[in-house]
Amino acid sequence: MLNIDVFLPSMAGKGKLYMIPIPIAEDALQTLSPEILEVTGRIKHFVAENVRTARRFLKSIHPTLVIDELSFSEIDKHQGPDIVTFKNWLKAGHEIGIMSEAGCPGIADPGTKLVKVAHENNVEVIPLTGPNSIVLALMASGLNGQGFSFNGYLPMKDPQRRDKIKHLEQESKKERQTQIFIETPYRNKTLFEELLRHCNGHTLLCIAQNITAKDAFIKTQTINNWKKDIPKLEKQPAVFLILA
C-alpha cells in the first residue's frame, strides 16, 4: 500500500489555526458546538475583529478564565490583520483562534487573509461548528438552496446600487439562482425600499433579521406582496435574498 504521508509537508512546530464562530445574536450560546468550549478554554492566542467583543465572549463561556493571561491581535479596519505577529505565533508553535464580530470567521470577514497565510505555510486550519447568518437565512427562506450566490454589500449609491440590484435579479432569473446580500443595519430600510422600487413584482424576497435571537424575523414573499405588507425593519443585522 502506498504511504501518502511522505508527500505531506511537515507541520511540526507550526501551530494550528482554529476558526471560532461567535453567536450572531447576543447571548445565543446554544448555537455553538461543545467543541468551541473545549478549544477556547485551551488556547492562549487569538486574532479578533474586535478585541473587546472577543474578551467579553470568552469571559461569558469561561467565567474563571484569566483574560490577562491571553494574547490578542486585533484586525485593523484599514490596515487589515497583523501578518507579522500572526506568523511569529505560528512559528512559535502556538494554537491560534480567529474570531469575527459575529458568526463564522472567514465568511464576509477579514480573517480570510490569515487563513491564506496559514495555508501558504502548511499550517493546519480547523473550522469549528457554529452559526452563520447567510446559511441560516438560506435554510429558512424556502428559496433555491441548490444554486445560490453571496454578494456581500451592494454599492452604497445610485446608479451603481440600482444597476447592481437589477443585475442580480437578471442573474437569478437566468440561472435560477438565489442571490444573497447584506447591508449595514441602519440602511436596512433604504435597501428594502430600493428592492421594492427596482425588482419585478413576482420576484421572491426573503428578509432574515436578527437570526437566532428571540425576536428574529424571517419572511419570504413576492415583491408585490411586500408592497402591501411593509415591515418595520429594526437597526439589526439582516440578510436579504431574492429569487426571480
pLDDT at 6: 32
Would you say residue 103 has pLDDT above 50? yes
pLDDT at 95: 97
β-strand 148-153 against 71-74: which pairing, if any? unpaired
Q: State CA 60 to chain mean position distance.
A: 21
User: Distance between CA atoms of 226 and 1, rounded to whole angstroms?
Assistant: 62
Phi (first) and psi of residue 60, to 5 degrees: -70, -30
pTM, two decimal places: 0.88
Tell me: the pLDDT tens digits for 15-41? Answer: 899 999 999 998 899 999 999 999 999
User: Distance between CA atoms of 24 and 42, rounded to whole angstroms?
Assistant: 23
pLDDT at 44: 97
User: Hey, what's the cell of 157?
Assistant: 449609491
Tell me: the pLDDT tens digits for 188-239? Answer: 999 999 999 999 999 999 999 999 999 999 999 999 999 999 998 889 999 9
Q: For residue 136, how many other CB atoms are within 10 A of its CB?
A: 19
pLDDT at 234: 84
Percent of the chain with pLDDT over 90: 86
pLDDT at 66: 95
Query: Which segments of 143-209 does DSSP mark as H helices, in order?
Result: 160-175, 188-198
Residue 43's closest CA among 56, 57, 58, 33?
58
Is the bond into 159 cis (omega within 30 degrees of 0)? Answer: yes
Output 9 or 111, whichever has higher pLDDT. 111
Tell me: the pLDDT tens digits for 37-87? Answer: 999 999 999 999 999 999 999 999 999 999 999 999 999 988 899 999 999
User: Distance between CA atoms of 32 and 237, rounded to whole angstroms?
Assistant: 19
Distances (CA, A) of 182 to 118, 197, 233, 240: 28, 18, 14, 6
pLDDT at 2: 30
pLDDT at 34: 94
User: Hey, what's the cell of 193?
Assistant: 425600499
Would you say residue 12 has pLDDT above 80? no
Residue 241's closest CA among 185, 157, 156, 168?
168
Output 110 or 207, whichever has higher pLDDT. 207
User: Distance between CA atoms of 145 and 177, rounded to whole angstroms?
Assistant: 8
Mean pLDDT for all residues in the chain: 92
Quick one: which H or E segment has residue 137?
helix 133-141
- Set out the domains of the chain in order of their start, with CATH numbers: 10-127 (3.40.1010.10), 133-243 (3.30.950.10)
